[in-house]
Amino acid sequence: MQNADVVVVGGGNAGYCAAHAAAERGRRVVLLEKAPREHAGGNSYYTLGATRIVHDGLGDLLEILEPDERHARTEVPPYSTAEFLTDLERTTGGRGDKELSDTVVKGSHDTVRWLHELGLRFELMYDRQAHKRPDGTIVFWGGTHVRNVDGGPGLISDHERVALRLGVEVHHGCPVTGLITDGGAVVGVRAGEQKVAAESVVIASGGFEANAPWRQRYLGDGWQHAKVRGTPYNTGDLIGAALEIGADRGGDWVTCHSVPWDASYPENEGNRALTNRLNRYGYPLGIVVNRRGQRFLDEGADFRNYTYAKYGSMILEQPGSVAFQVFDASSRSMLNAYEYEMPGIIPIVADSVEELASAMDVDVGGFVRTVRGFNSSIDTSHPLDPTIKDGRSASVEPVKSNWASAIQTPPYYAYPVTCGISFTFGGLRGDVDGRVLDRSGAAIPGLFVCGEALGGMFSGNYPTGAGLTAGMVIGRRAGSLA
């Protein structure tokens, strides 16, 4: 392995964006990936490839989209800079770094166009972010409209193809164990017995979600039991190495991105075949109960794009860290086939509410009271419309704010869910160009960070698709300077 101008640590979306940007400038780039080749791609491989970007509607997106005959009958509402920033402010409770957020949002569209010009392929998310009206019009909702062709696997495949063309030297199965410094500057990395000298090092090795002791220490007791949705290689090693040389911690270290996740499938961690098909995001159309048969969250508080990343933690707090998503025949027919008809899924099915409770092994009396109280409290003056926040509420405790539909038509379905952790929100403190900052706020010469290793963007919650976008924008900016 030869020395380089730029070493990028981590072969996910953010790392490749940094590598592409540096290589385009004629820099000699070496990318070191901890995972073996057969487990390449980091957390990015496990995603849908959803990318939240600013745009003026379908006409503004067509140049970056693969051709699709459905475009002619599709409505994609514009998504403005102000809307994106508002969604970040709202989901994070105002705790996100505002300068970082502003940079990511305003750079989102141009960065995706740059990636498209390099060779990444994008399409509309017809199967996840749109509903068809009776007249055949396909209407998009929720702010996240674009994804990579073939999802996460397609995203990584495209990145690898671009990196090869640009001359990036990629090494898999090469864990970086430390940073080499000289006079306060980072001048390379240690990779096992080898040392790789470089003018700049870009940390793009993810968060610490696959490190159970760190999860318990920073997120709290119980988090060691969460299911790791993605790569088992994101253990925070390079975050720790940077902290050892004086880098400052950044962002929220006590919350994370965690989602409703299949609880019954035997291989429900790091599954590269099913990846995100183990998500269970249809809860806005039904109810969610714990083992006492009681609801504990507002399933219709907002589009699931703005609630799913925090509801995993609420499930973790329930008895046995498990809950059940419940639907009747009517609402079940509206669920996304990608998730709810995945290979090997076996829902709990019964012809009565009592039988369903018994099969779920929840408190029968409590569950029956929950369903009856919910059904009788629905405001039926509002028609059910999953493309908008329809105000069809159920005035129970907790309230269901939108999309309330009675659980009354057999057969009844239940899907057991638990907490799946995606990534941690805390990481290294960096500026908008990805330069790692020390505890005094000064940049550490030669050290950059991007992707999930960079803290500050998210806290408590997260809008769908913003993570890949942040990795793209800041990765590109870091690679443009490294």
What is the tens place of the pLDDT at every residue in 347-363?
A: 999 999 999 999 999 99
| Token pair in block for residue 146 | 């674009």
Contact, 465 vs 79, CB < 8 A?
no
Which pTM does this prediction carry? 0.96
Contacts with 182 (C-beta within 8 Å, 6 or more apart), sequence order: none
User: Does pLDDT of 205 surpass 80?
Assistant: yes
Mean pLDDT of 391-419: 98
pLDDT attached to residue 402: 98
| Bridge partners for 412 per DSSP | 350
Mean pLDDT of 149-175: 98
CA distances (Å), 111 to each of 17, 64, 120, 256, 331, in order?
Answer: 10, 11, 11, 25, 38
At residue 295, the 3 state secondary structure works out as strand
Helices (H), 234-333: 237-244, 308-316, 329-332
End-to-end CA distance of the chain: 20
pLDDT in tens, 304-329: 999 999 999 999 999 999 999 999 99
Give 2's pLDDT tier (boundaries 50, 70, 90).
confident
Q: Considering the domain 258-420 in this protein, what is its CATH number?
A: 3.90.700.10
Q: Where are the domains of the chain?
A: 6-207+425-481, 258-420
Percentage of the residues of the chain whose pLDDT score is greater than 70: 100
Helices (H), 329-412: 329-332, 337-340, 353-360, 364-376
Per the prediction, the chain carries an average pLDDT of 97
Q: What are phi and psi of 356, to 5 degrees?
A: -65, -45
| Bridge partners for 418 per DSSP | 261
User: Does pLDDT of 424 surpass 80?
Assistant: yes
pLDDT in tens, 47-85: 999 999 999 999 999 999 999 999 999 999 999 999 999
CA distances (Å), 304 to each of 53, 79, 227, 452, in order?
Answer: 18, 17, 20, 22
Contact, 448 vs 435, CB < 8 A?
yes
At residue 265, the 3 state secondary structure works out as coil
State the Cα torsion 136-140-146-150 to the nearest 10°: -50
Cα–Cα distance for residue pair 376/33, rounded to 1 Å: 55
Q: Considering the domain 6-207+425-481 in this protein, what is its CATH number?
A: 3.50.50.60
Give 262's pLDDT tier (boundaries 50, 70, 90).
very high
User: Does pLDDT of 166 surpass 90?
Assistant: yes
User: Does pLDDT of 267 surpass 90?
Assistant: yes
User: Does pLDDT of 1 surpass 90?
Assistant: no
Does an H or E element contain 81, and which? helix 81-91
At residue 438, the 3 state secondary structure works out as strand
Burial classification of residue 319, based on how many CB atoms lie within 10 Å of its CB (0-12 exposed, 13-18 middle, 19 or more buried): exposed
pLDDT attached to residue 192: 84
